[in-house]
Amino acid sequence: MTLTQQIITVSMVILATVITRFLPFIIFPAGKETPKFIKYLGKVLPAAVFGLLVIYCLKNVSIMDGSHGIPELIAILCVVAIHLWKRQMLLSIATGTVVYMLLIQLVF
Amino acid sequence: MDNEKGIIGRSLRAAFPYTVPILAGFLFLGATYGIYMNVSGFSFLYPMLMSMTVFAGSAEFVAVSLLLSAFDPIQAFLMILMINARHLFYGVSLLEKYAGTGWKKFYLIFGMCDESFSINCSVDIPENVDKGWFMFFVTILNQSYWVCGATLGGIFGSFINFNTEGLDFVMTAMFVVIFLEQWLKEKNHTSSLIGIGLSLVCLIIFGPDKFMIPAMLSIAGVLALVRKPLEKGGAVT
């Protein structure tokens, strides 16, 4: 690929990304009344998207082979247990990550 | 009366702790991306400029393979559109949150990513802090971590060699905590269950590379179907 072709390709990547970010704000501008259905989606979507993001992070975990997702399961249970106990976001995340790293580096 | 400087400083101090997990995750993932570009034969300027302008992890990784294959801008455009389609959901969810943030709104939208969306959407911003500045700092701190990671990875490339295996789990752990916080806060779990359930079903049916679009379509569809009962039950006000 020549430099010009590279620049065009990267510009396309930028343009497509910018469109996905700005489109909702362009279609539903702040000054105008947002349709009720979109307002409803705006309220209920976050909870669903947080669930989607959890699954997205785990998408390459394979239950059938390798370590069968056991390190992920143990680490997530740690995160949940510690978070329910202390409700300290950073502590829960740090502990879960360290547990996971130890599990895959030393155990599995 | 509070002066502007005090508000800005307080917003930064309030925002920073929430971004610490992302500091760890983005330096690591950003460096992975920079190293990947480095070993693919690109100068550090590529990961640096792309992390500033694109700032969307998976799209930047895919862009490397686009740059290495035959020139096809239309395909590149459509592919990235699909990969980043989840931003549409974030936008719809943030329409009201971002309202009234003035000039910062442009950057808040430009720098929106999975992590900034999750924090800005889930944190109850303290009353003595300006919500616009708070969200601005969350967004710009997160992006700066990514740019630093990508640039350092691009410069030092394959010199970095210590056992970081599993460090990327910091992102999974963060989303689990955010999901859990939402769960503890909400009275009605319908939307959380729809999100996690349908994503899982779509992952099983379509596989890891193709499940996002069907998952998003089915989530939006089912949420539309349960709108009446949810609004009647008082779950949405």
Nearest to B93 among A8, A49, A71 (CB): A49
Share of chain B above pLDDT 90, in %: 62
Q: Is the pLDDT of residue A89 over 50?
A: yes
Whole-number Å distance between alpha carbons of B59 and B35 = 16
CB A45 within 8 A of CB B227: no
Instruction: Give chain A's mean pLDDT.
Output: 92
ipTM confidence score: 0.90
Cβ contact, residue pair B182, A47, below 8 Å: yes
Nearest CA-CA distance, residue A61 and chain B, Å: 9
B78 vs B48, higher pLDDT: B48
Q: At what angle do helices A36-57 and B190-206 cross, to 10 degrees?
A: 50
B237 vs A65, higher pLDDT: A65
Whole-number Å distance between alpha carbons of A88 and B223 = 31
Report how far apart, in Å, the C-alpha atoms of B131 and of each of A49, B96, B109 are.
Answer: 22, 12, 15
CB A35 within 8 A of CB B222: no
Highest mean pLDDT among A54-63, B25-34, B73-82, B192-201: B192-201
Tens digits of residue pLDDT in B208-226: 888 988 999 999 999 999 9
What ranges do the domains of chain B cover? 4-166, 186-237
Mean pLDDT of B222-235: 87
**B218 interface with A at CB cutoff 8 Å:** no
Tens digits of residue pLDDT in B147-170: 999 999 999 876 766 666 888 888
Burial B120-154 (b: 16+ CB within 10 A, else e): bbbbebeeebbbbbbbbbbbbbbbbbbbbbbbbbb
At A91, which helix (H) or strand (E)? helix A89-102
Angle CA A85–A86–A90, to nearest 5: 130
Q: How many CB pairs under 8 A join A and B?
A: 254
Mean pLDDT of A39-47: 90
Q: Is the pLDDT of residue B9 over 80?
A: yes
Whole-number Å distance between alpha carbons of A39 and A63 = 38
Instruction: Give chain B's mean pLDDT.
Output: 90
Whole-number Å distance between alpha carbons of B219 and B216 = 5
